[in-house]
């Protein structure tokens, strides 16, 4: 697992995520799609106002195919 604080461009070890029922359903649907279609390696789950967003991604340990440079560094360096 890798967690990126995008505002501060640094790796963090833990977060709390508080979701409405609708947001949780969208997260679940997005995770199912990611597992069923590995070529789509990430998904975005916004709140109703589109001011807050969770980005989720599935990756193979040690593989950075399809990710930007910042995410590549996070996958490879953050253990």
Distance of CA 77 to the CA centre of its chain: 17
56: which strand partners?
Answer: 43
Question: Does residue 26 contact residue 9 with C-beta atoms inside 8 Å?
Answer: no
**DSSP strand E in 1-79: where?**
4-5, 10-11, 42-46, 53-57
Q: What is the pTM of this model?
A: 0.81
Q: Return the pLDDT at 44.
A: 94
Band (pLDDT 50/70/90 cuts) for residue 65 is confident
């Amino acid at each position: 697992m890798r967690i990126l604080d995008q505002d501060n461009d640094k790796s963090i070890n833990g977060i709390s995520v508080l979701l409405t029922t609708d947001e949780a359903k969208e997260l679940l649907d997005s995770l199912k799609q990611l597992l069923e279609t590995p070529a789509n390696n990430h998904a975005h789950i916004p709140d109703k106002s589109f001011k807050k967003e969770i980005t989720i991604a599935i990756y193979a340990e040690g593989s950075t195919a399809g990710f930007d440079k910042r995410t590549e560094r996070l996958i490879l360096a953050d253990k």
